[in-house]
């Protein structure tokens, strides 16, 4: 058995044990304790990546690109796994980007993270951005402008998503300041996580919750 299989078995065992503890708490009449525990477990569970192929191990699948850009996967430099993405555009200056549209909950917290390798002065900066659909609330972005020959993290934190949104566009944008950059910019491990618990999980327990 390799390490990954052992970890999976261990996770399965822990989940089973959590279910037993939860059942015991409910049977003991400790419903508020069970609900609190369930909320905590769901919060941990909800931290999975809402983006598909955020590590670019499946090529460019799941991502769309701005018109005329060159968006391909590479084996070096890579932050994790075997592949990362590279992005550039020839013969022009200005913005170039890739994106994914995702369903979001109103009033939830979202965090966008990614690793960026920018070691080319022809690019002025690289940004991660959350654009809320159907909302006047401002987009959220964080950028990296210095050049380094290693991957650096970018994190975009939203306090709360707008009350009138149900979709967001997640963008990685590179700004070209000098046309025909000798090297592209690279990204890896792009992730979007949320505080929001899965829908439809609570009513069964909450109907007995004392007010
Ligand atoms: Ca990767």
pLDDT band at 17 (very low <50, low <70, confident <90, very high): low
Q: Are residues 132 and 30 in the same domain?
A: no
Q: Tell how far the Cα of 16 is from the centroid of ligand 1, in angstroms.
A: 31
Q: Within a domain: residue 51?
A: no
Question: Is the confidence at residue 9, as pLDDT, over 80?
Answer: no
Q: Tell me the average pLDDT across 173-191.
A: 98
Q: Model's pTM, two decimal places?
A: 0.73
Q: Tokens 């170039």 — which residue?
A: 96
Instruction: Specify burial of residue 188 (Cβ count, 10 A radius: 0-12, 13-18, 19+).
Output: buried
Residue 207: strand, helix, or coil: coil
Is residue 154 within 8 A of residue 79, CB to CB? The reply is: no
Are 128 and 85 in a shared domain? yes
DSSP code for 24? H
Region 167-171: mean pLDDT is 97
Q: What are phi and psi of 186, to 5 degrees?
A: -125, 150
CATH number, domain with residue 143: 2.60.120.260
C-alpha 55 – ligand 1 centre gap (Å): 4
Question: If you measure from the C-alpha of residue 62 to the centroid of ligand 1, how many angstroms do you get, rounded to a whole number?
Answer: 14
What is the distance in A from the centroid of ligand 1 to the CA of 27?
45
Give the CA-trace dihedral at 102, 104, 108, 114, to 10 degrees. Answer: 0
Residue 56: pLDDT above 70? yes
Do 15 and 72 share a structural domain?
A: no
Whether 207 is covered by a domain: the verdict is no
Residues with CB under 5 A from ligand 1 (ion): 55, 81, 83, 188
27: helix, coil or strand?
helix
**From ligand 1's centre to the CA of 117, what distance in Å?**
12
> How far, in Å, CA of 30 to CA of 116, rounded?
47
- The Cα-based distances of 203 to 35, 136, 181 in angstroms read 10, 32, 56
Q: What is the pLDDT of residues 82-134, one digit of tens each?
A: 999 999 999 999 999 999 999 999 999 999 999 999 999 999 999 999 999 98
Q: How many domains does the chain have?
A: 2
| Better-predicted residue by pLDDT, 44 or 31 | 31
User: Residue 101 is part of which domain span?
Assistant: 64-194
Between CA 144 and CA 121 the distance in angstroms is 12
Q: Which of 68, 69, 67, 109 is nearest to 86 (CA)?
A: 69
Same domain, 105 and 176: yes
| Rounded CA separation 5/15 (Å) | 15
Same domain, 106 and 9: no
Q: Are 23 and 205 in contact (CB under 8 A)?
A: no
User: What rounded mean pLDDT belongs to the chain?
Assistant: 83
């Amino acid at each position: 058995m390799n390490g990954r299989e052992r970890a999976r078995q261990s996770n399965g065992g822990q989940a089973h044990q959590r279910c037993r503890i939860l059942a015991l708490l409910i049977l003991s009449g400790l419903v508020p304790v069970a609900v609190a525990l369930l909320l905590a477990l769901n919060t941990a569970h909800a931290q999975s990546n809402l983006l598909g192929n955020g590590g670019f191990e499946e090529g460019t699948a799941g991502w769309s690109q701005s018109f005329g850009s060159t968006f391909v996967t590479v084996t070096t430099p890579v932050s994790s796994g075997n592949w990362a993405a590279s992005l550039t555009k020839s013969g022009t200056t200005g913005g170039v980007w890739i994106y994914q549209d995702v369903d979001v909950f109103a009033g939830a917290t979202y965090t966008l993270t990614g690793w960026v390798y920018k070691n080319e002065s022809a690019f002025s900066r690289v940004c991660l951005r959350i654009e809320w659909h159907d909302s006047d609330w401002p987009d959220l972005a964080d950028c990296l402008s210095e050049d380094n020959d290693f991957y650096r993290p970018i994190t975009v934190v939203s306090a709360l998503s707008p009350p009138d949104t149900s979709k967001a566009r997640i963008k990685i944008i590179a700004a070209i300041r000098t046309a025909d950059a000798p090297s592209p910019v690279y990204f890896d491990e792009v992730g979007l996580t949320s505080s929001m618990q899965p829908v439809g999980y609570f009513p069964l327990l909450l109907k007995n919750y004392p007010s």
